[in-house]
Chain A
């Protein structure tokens, strides 16, 4: 039986960095992948959606280029070519991972892994031994049983494989996946309706952030957003997919189900290793990435914590280090969250609502892009940045940005919050002019009521 120091199950954004880090630290490492290197993120998630959203945003800009003095006529979308661009990007990145694994001496096994015992796995009938095992099997779209099995009813993965855009689309679920794809399709000219059972879309965000995004989706992209009601009597046939919201029947070419993701543990035979999933199906871990079995780690979506690729990567690196090195350390807890809607959203740390729930005196400072020179100059003025701070210590607790480049802008906030900077320090940090990043400085000044580029608040 071939044996390794570390075997990683799953080569997604958590698994392959874990394998490479363990190899960098001198361990003999293998990685097992049942489908494609890169996992959901690279093949059917983050990357392909951003390829399409990037193209859609370019098209959107071209449509509105007139106000900047650029006259474009006859712009149109060749979705097949767009999809080809997306597939090319995915292909290139996948090959990159393959060569990185090889360069680091990580042995690859293609197939399903299952536990024989705590230190033995079986892949395609072959047994592999390992001192430490890292489970990184990820998650998959939840497709509830009441949905009809029909090509017109798809989840996000099948939606990305469509060769032709539908004319009309119903998105079931107003979470971040549903809203990202709804915005993308709407920018490319699809008539979109989003149906969310809860009282609002993107409910984990602060109300002011949600209001900004929803208003843009409804007014500028023409998306119908129906909230507080479920989609009933869902059916599909050769002509259309249908569903009922209240008294109204919705009809569309495609129904996209984006109501959440569920962990992948089928076929792992966890019981052979003495492991169990919790009542929601996740593998529980401590802050060091360890499961209940000391030599088995779990990372990423399958742990049911924060389902984001970069969090999986951080967990993966920590788990690999803890699996190989003698002194364990905890993984970080400041996790930026980015949503590629139109406009984009970035958040990190505590939301205003959560900070208030912690029994603190909370102060906020907001700065709207409409007051920013750079934003006006390039014609991207929607949205704002917001700091959430502790009034007692001036500590930056959280940040939210909605608007242009929000997903990049949030990086500064993440670094500042992790370093436990105070509002005053962030405000004294010189920010380059004219840039979008100046808004963080302005918002920090606003926390103390000292914003230069906004009228004083009436007392």
Chain B
């Protein structure tokens, strides 16, 4: 019998995933280790290899549909082999509580082909991917059912307008043909002028003609106007951006942020790094700052803590998050047990994580669980900036560019390499005095060149 292909579970937190792209077609020969498809999880896009050789007999889940992990997404086997009758797994609903228990607990979905799949009769692709399921968010009340008569729907479709804007006069607010006609009349539909190609495209793209502004002769809607409306149409953000939006908003709303900035004289450390680099040592400025932060966190346990507003939990280890910017967003790989690593080990881990993050090869488990985060925008030529605390942490360090500046030393103006560090703190745990001491403790370490000579020797 054909072997089911299962949507794997990436990390502890992932409950649902969507296939981005099938890299094999139905009927394609698959070798063990070949990449079958790529999957978008909450945090990244991962490639999924085949554990067996065979022919891809059937694709059950098309790209773009969110399904629970462990669902069957396709079948592998010998050509002509029977495929068990299985309906596409129900797309993951917006809120977890309504998820049918069977499809979550059942071992490979095939084993329970009779698992009730609500709405399975509808083609899977017609169900839009729900917005990111915020586990904490209360299930929103279902939107009122939109009712429209077939004749009204046809008229609206032929007129290329959006009937959901119409208030229905039928029973339960049902929109009937008369309502559409009144709506068209009220909005001057008869005066609307549009080129045939523009109308064709607007219909295809499901635009509402009444929302388009015409710039052609006498206000006629042209192809250019349709294209402009399409370009301005809201687009669904990718999963990563949605997660960023959700998590950072949550952080700003729940954690009262305040900011403390210190100037660090990096002149000596920059010089030392240059000397080390000539000798082939790979240390980066970020490594030094990370090490200084880890050492300082051991001195300030409150900064390496988490609060829910009622309790405070101290973390005995430092799991250091280092923000890495990607083309389509931002990820925070985590250096685990950073407090147990030497500077050289820290450097090696940071480099490995950043490279894999940029290549999109980092599993979610390596991007969660940090206790403190550093965000370095030094390479982006910024004077100073503030960062938003990663939810679950109590502070984040924003590292700005190192710039040559005139400063006063021994009553004389001299040129030094200056870098600003801004600590964002959660005021629920950390008060101003502690933040100031913490920031200055990092500054003092970075300016203590003997410390770095010891650590790098």
Measuring CB to CB, which residues of chain A are less than 8 angstroms from any residue of chain B?
390, 392-396, 419-422, 425
Asked whether A393 and B200 contact (CB < 8 A) given A420-B222, A420-B223, the answer is: yes
**Are B195 and A421 within 8 A (Cβ)?**
yes
Q: B204 within 8 Å of A by Cβ?
A: yes
0/1 interface trace, chain B 195-231, chain A, CB 8 Å (1 if under): 1111011001000000000000000001100000000
CA distance A396 to B197 in the complex (A): 8
**What's the minimum C-beta distance from B361 to chain A, rounded to whole angstroms?**
29
**Are A425 and B204 within 8 A (Cβ)?**
no
**Are B204 and A393 within 8 A (Cβ)?**
yes
| Residue of chain B at shortest CB distance from A397 | B197
Q: Could you give 29 example pairs across A and B, Cβ below 8 Å?
A: A390-B197, A392-B201, A392-B204, A393-B197, A393-B200, A393-B201, A393-B204, A394-B197, A394-B200, A395-B197, A395-B200, A395-B201, A395-B223, A396-B197, A419-B195, A419-B196, A420-B195, A420-B196, A420-B197, A420-B198, A420-B222, A420-B223, A421-B195, A421-B196, A421-B197, A422-B196, A422-B197, A422-B200, A425-B196
Chain B residues in 8 Å Cβ range of A393: 197, 200-201, 204
**What's the minimum C-beta distance from A416 to chain B, rounded to whole angstroms?**
10
Chain B residues in 8 Å Cβ range of A396: 197
**What's the minimum C-beta distance from A393 to chain B, rounded to whole angstroms?**
4
**What's the minimum C-beta distance from A349 to chain B, rounded to whole angstroms?**
12
Please report whether the interface of chain B is mostly helix, strand, loop or mixed according to DSSP: helix
**What's the minimum C-beta distance from A420 to chain B, rounded to whole angstroms?**
3
Chain A residues in 8 Å Cβ range of B197: 390, 393-396, 420-422
CA distance A425 to B223 in the complex (A): 16
Chain A residues in 8 Å Cβ range of B201: 392-393, 395
CA distance A394 to B223 in the complex (A): 12
Chain B residues in 8 Å Cβ range of A394: 197, 200
The residue in B197, B198, B222 that gathers the most chain A C-beta atoms within 10 A of its C-beta is: B197
| Residue of chain B at shortest CB distance from A396 | B197
**What's the minimum C-beta distance from A378 to chain B, rounded to whole angstroms?**
33
Beyond A392-B201, A392-B204, A420-B197, list 17 extra A-B contacts (CB 8 Å). A390-B197, A393-B197, A393-B200, A393-B201, A393-B204, A394-B197, A394-B200, A395-B197, A395-B200, A395-B223, A419-B195, A420-B195, A420-B198, A420-B222, A420-B223, A421-B196, A425-B196
**What's the minimum C-beta distance from B206 to chain A, rounded to whole angstroms?**
14
CA distance A281 to B282 in the complex (A): 52
CA distance A190 to B400 in the complex (A): 77
Chain B residues in 8 Å Cβ range of A419: 195-196
CA distance A394 to B200 in the complex (A): 8
**What's the minimum C-beta distance from B203 to chain A, rounded to whole angstroms?**
9
Closest 3 CB pairs of A and B: A420-B195, A395-B197, A420-B197
Chain A residues in 8 Å Cβ range of B195: 419-421
| Residue of chain A at shortest CB distance from B222 | A420
| Residue of chain A at shortest CB distance from B202 | A393
CA distance A420 to B195 in the complex (A): 6
**What's the minimum C-beta distance from B213 to chain A, rounded to whole angstroms?**
16
The residue in A390, A393, A419 that gathers the most chain B C-beta atoms within 10 A of its C-beta is: A393
**What's the minimum C-beta distance from B31 to chain A, rounded to whole angstroms?**
33
CA distance A419 to B195 in the complex (A): 6
| Residue of chain A at shortest CB distance from B196 | A422
CA distance A392 to B195 in the complex (A): 16
Chain A residues in 8 Å Cβ range of B222: 420
CA distance A101 to B204 in the complex (A): 50
Chain B residues in 8 Å Cβ range of A421: 195-197
CA distance A422 to B200 in the complex (A): 8
CA distance A422 to B195 in the complex (A): 9
**What's the minimum C-beta distance from B182 to chain A, rounded to whole angstroms?**
30
The residue in A395, A396, A420 that gathers the most chain B C-beta atoms within 10 A of its C-beta is: A420
CA distance A421 to B195 in the complex (A): 7
Chain B residues in 8 Å Cβ range of A392: 201, 204
CA distance A392 to B222 in the complex (A): 16
CA distance A172 to B223 in the complex (A): 41
Chain A residues in 8 Å Cβ range of B198: 420
0/1 interface trace, chain B 98-141, chain A, CB 8 Å (1 if under): 00000000000000000000000000000000000000000000
CA distance A395 to B198 in the complex (A): 8
CA distance A425 to B201 in the complex (A): 15
CA distance A9 to B89 in the complex (A): 73
| Residue of chain B at shortest CB distance from A330 | B215
